Amino acid sequence: MARSFNLFVPVLLTFTCLFCLLCFYFVISSSSQASSNGFLQCLSDSRIPVLTQNSCSFKRQLEAYIRNPKFMANTNVKPLYIVMPTNTSHVQGTVRCGRQCNMSIRVRSGGHDYEGLSYRSVHAKDFVVLDLSQLHKVSVDSHTSTAWVESGATLGELYYKVWKASDVLGFPAGLCPTVGVGGHFSGGGFGMLMRKYGLAIDNVIDVELVDAKGRLLNKTSMGSDVFWAIRGGGGESFGIVLKWQVKLVPVPRTVTVFNVSVSTRQGAVDVVTKWQQVAPTLRDDLFIRVLVQNQRADFQSLFLGTCDVLLPVMSDHFPELKFNRSDCKEMTWIQSVPYIYLGNNSTVEDLLNRTSSAFAHNNGFKAKSDFVRQAIPRDVWASIFTKLAQPEAHYGLMILDPYGGKISAVPESATPFPHRAGVLYNIQYINYWNMASGNGTVQTKWIRDMYTFMAPYVSSNPREAYFNYRDLDLGDSFEVWGPKYFKRNYPRLVMAKGMIDYDDYFHNEQSIPSPKHGYLMQRPEALSSSF
Ligand SMILES: Cc1cc2nc3c(=O)[nH]c(=O)nc-3n(C[C@H](O)[C@H](O)[C@H](O)COP(=O)(O)OP(=O)(O)OC[C@H]3O[C@@H](n4cnc5c(N)ncnc54)[C@H](O)[C@@H]3O)c2cc1C
Ligand SMILES: *[C@@H]1O[C@H](CO)[C@@H](O)[C@H](O)[C@H]1NC(C)=O
Ligand SMILES: *[C@@H]1O[C@H](CO)[C@@H](O)[C@H](O)[C@H]1NC(C)=O
Ligand SMILES: *[C@@H]1O[C@H](CO)[C@@H](O)[C@H](O)[C@H]1NC(C)=O
Ligand SMILES: *[C@@H]1O[C@H](CO)[C@@H](O)[C@H](O)[C@H]1NC(C)=O
Ligand SMILES: *[C@@H]1O[C@H](CO)[C@@H](O)[C@H](O)[C@H]1NC(C)=O
Ligand SMILES: *[C@@H]1O[C@H](CO)[C@@H](O)[C@H](O)[C@H]1NC(C)=O
Ligand SMILES: *[C@@H]1O[C@H](CO)[C@@H](O)[C@H](O)[C@H]1NC(C)=O
Ligand SMILES: *[C@@H]1O[C@H](CO)[C@@H](O)[C@H](O)[C@H]1NC(C)=O
């Protein structure tokens, strides 16, 4: 790759020099139309594949990776072009053309961003989407238990290919198989293995990144602050992560899955109240999360072992669940992935379906997140269940993911993801609506009211939020959302931003600001005392 890159450089420079003149000419004629024409010309001279709004497949390609249909509405600003790179030099060339022609770039891997920031712009402004969906190779080395995975791969493709190489290796990342590696890893990434093995980013060894100058950098050449920042601080503020080298983790040949449902009439309020104390303190290889919806709590679990071993653990620690052998489903780890997320009829091959979705395609949604550090009292849980019974929350849901184990053992400053020791569990609130019958106004209001109601019972100063559950309600001010997503890590993110993209070329509605905007420039150690 290095050799073809070197050959490519002179050609690229020749073209870009020509076209920087062109762009410059059009820019001073102050027409954004001309600037976008210059950008297109620059791409075409570098033979970089691109779709314009007139291309037959533009709409199909744009919508193929829109995971929240509320952003398909015409009211959202659409990209001028979709760039479709098939190799590294296309990505480098796109950044160089973008810089020269003052065209901003949104990078999209799997398109699951909760606010759609990988393919839309809230502030009306010209931009293009750099769509990485064709860069999705996964190469597994089972001898060293490592893999290189390109950002455009889905989690399902990663899990499947790891399994093809070795049935005793896995990887700790999210549950939804269509989530893209690029966004997921750069924002943290957790799933059913997080208590045993931590986050996806806790298992990243190296990366390849294209920076705002179009350079291809690795862990060493980007420097330790930038390598730290892109593992949880969001890749989009720093560059384009092309691929990740990860450490794979051992999984046993037999795992046990269960889904035990308790209705409010059967005592769900008590069992959830108890769960808060139990789930974060169980052995690391037992993960029990809760889905609270429709007046019941579904306790969904992955245990890295057999039913025989699990049964006494459950009766010793959580007898309230009335768990018994008939609740156990033993299978392989790879079978558990589609089983848990896509249902009991799904197969391992379904993991390769890049566009399948567990959700009906026409459901818009709004989501928010919280972290809980002190168990919520029983009477509050009773009120929560009552709020979930309101008609606006007919498709409302809370997902509780327990912490403890490895995820909480990693120091807060080891990665930008700061929600570690002391967190009992994470809450995700989601409310859905059918796009055919509503615009989501009442459902969005319900979730915001719920968030207000929960304030006294969740983390505070700052009220923590998970970066991968992006929420523009947290506001425009970095001083507000920075500490929520990153706690004391946020000044170091500004510093890393200054090192790699001082000009703030890589920018979106919630990107890390450059120190040039007057944000903190000191090293974070010096700042700690001021929090
Ligand atoms: C149905 C669903 C299920 C989910 N389940 C989980 C889960 O189990 N666990 C969990 O932790 N999270 C989960 N998430 C959240 C998910 O981790 C984030 O939305 C994640 O950012 C999605 O990554 P993506 O590549 O699919 O998204 P995209 O929308 O493509 O990207 C998200 C953000 O990252 C940026 N980005 C994307 N690729 C790159 C790149 N290569 N380089 C630099 N920046 C990049 C984008 O510009 C955008 O700002 C889920 C989301 C959905 C919609
Ligand atoms: C990328 O593809 C182009 C053809 O579109 C080719 O000219 C170039 O050499 C390739 N670059 C690399 C690094 O493979
Ligand atoms: C670049 O574009 C932005 C908006 O997209 C505009 O505010 C800025 O003035 C432009 N810069 C130049 C040099 O044209
Ligand atoms: C990173 O890049 C540098 C410079 O290109 C190179 O010398 C080094 O070997 C690379 N490191 C790794 C781990 O690949
Ligand atoms: C868990 O059980 C409940 C109640 O039987 C059911 O509605 C739900 O679909 C199940 N969930 C999964 C993932 O199997
Ligand atoms: C196991 O639990 C189920 C309901 O969860 C119940 O129907 C069954 O009778 C129980 N079996 C035993 C042996 O207790
Ligand atoms: C699974 O398949 C069976 C038979 O093919 C069907 O009866 C059942 O409804 C399916 N279950 C789900 C959850 O899709
Ligand atoms: C899946 O579960 C449904 C009931 O929820 C059942 O009817 C069906 O037989 C199950 N399918 C398989 C393949 O186990
Ligand atoms: C959404 O729908 C409601 C009722 O149908 C309507 O009152 C409201 O104005 C709509 N809001 C938007 C933003 O379209």
CA of 150 to the centre of ligand 2 (A): 17
Q: Give the Cα-Cα-Cα angle 17, 20, 23 (nearest 5 degrees).
A: 155
pLDDT confidence bin for 518, thresholds 50/70/90: confident
Mean pLDDT to the nearest integer, 239-248? 98
User: Residue 138 has what pLDDT?
Assistant: 98
pLDDT confidence bin for 359, thresholds 50/70/90: low
Distance, CA of 437 to CA of 459 (rounded, Å): 36
pLDDT tens per residue across span 372-397: 999 999 999 999 999 999 999 999 99
pLDDT confidence bin for 309, thresholds 50/70/90: very high
Residues of the chain with pLDDT > 90: what percent? 85
Adjacent-strand bridge partners of 216:
210
Adjacent-strand bridge partners of 246:
147, 204
User: Residue 32 has what pLDDT?
Assistant: 67
For ligand 3, whether the C-beta of 412 sits within 6 Å is: no
Extract the tokens encoding 118.
């990988």
DSSP 331-388: E-HHHHHHHHHH-TT--GGGGG-TT--SS-TTEEEEEEEEEESSPPPHHHHHHHHHHH
The pTM (predicted TM-score) of the whole model is 0.92
For ligand 5, whether the C-beta of 261 sits within 6 Å is: yes
Distance, CA of 279 to CA of 425 (rounded, Å): 9
Question: Do 401 and 474 meet the contact criterion of CB atoms below 8 Å apart?
Answer: no
Instruction: State the maximum Cα–Cα separation within the chain, in Å, rounded to a whole number.
Output: 76
Does pLDDT of 26 surpass 60?
A: no
Q: How far is CA 245 from the centre of its chain?
A: 17
- Identify the CA nearest to 370 among candidates 395, 398, 412, 393: 398
Mean pLDDT to the nearest integer, 472-477? 92
Question: Do 520 and 492 meet the contact criterion of CB atoms below 8 Å apart?
Answer: no
Distance, CA of 503 to CA of 327 (rounded, Å): 56
pLDDT confidence bin for 357, thresholds 50/70/90: low
Mean pLDDT lowest for which of 49-63, 262-276, 348-362? 348-362
User: Residue 105 has what pLDDT?
Assistant: 97
Distance, CA of 444 to CA of 177 (rounded, Å): 26
Around ligand 8, the residues with Cβ closer than 6 Å are 344-345
| Ligand 9, pocket-test mutation among 70, 433, 435, 441, most atoms within 8 A of CB | 441
CA of 281 to the centre of ligand 6 (A): 26
pLDDT confidence bin for 258, thresholds 50/70/90: very high
Residue bearing tokens 């967190």: 423
Atom 7 in ligand 3: residue holding the nearest Cα: 125
- Distance in Å from the first CA to the final CA of the chain: 46
Atom 9 in ligand 5: residue holding the nearest Cα: 343
User: Residue 525 has what pLDDT?
Assistant: 46
Q: Which helix (H) or strand (E) holds 429?
A: strand 425-434
Does pLDDT of 4 surpass 60?
A: no
Q: Which helix (H) or strand (E) holds 277?
A: helix 268-278
| Ligand 5, pocket-test mutation among 176, 258, 259, 342, most atoms within 8 A of CB | 259
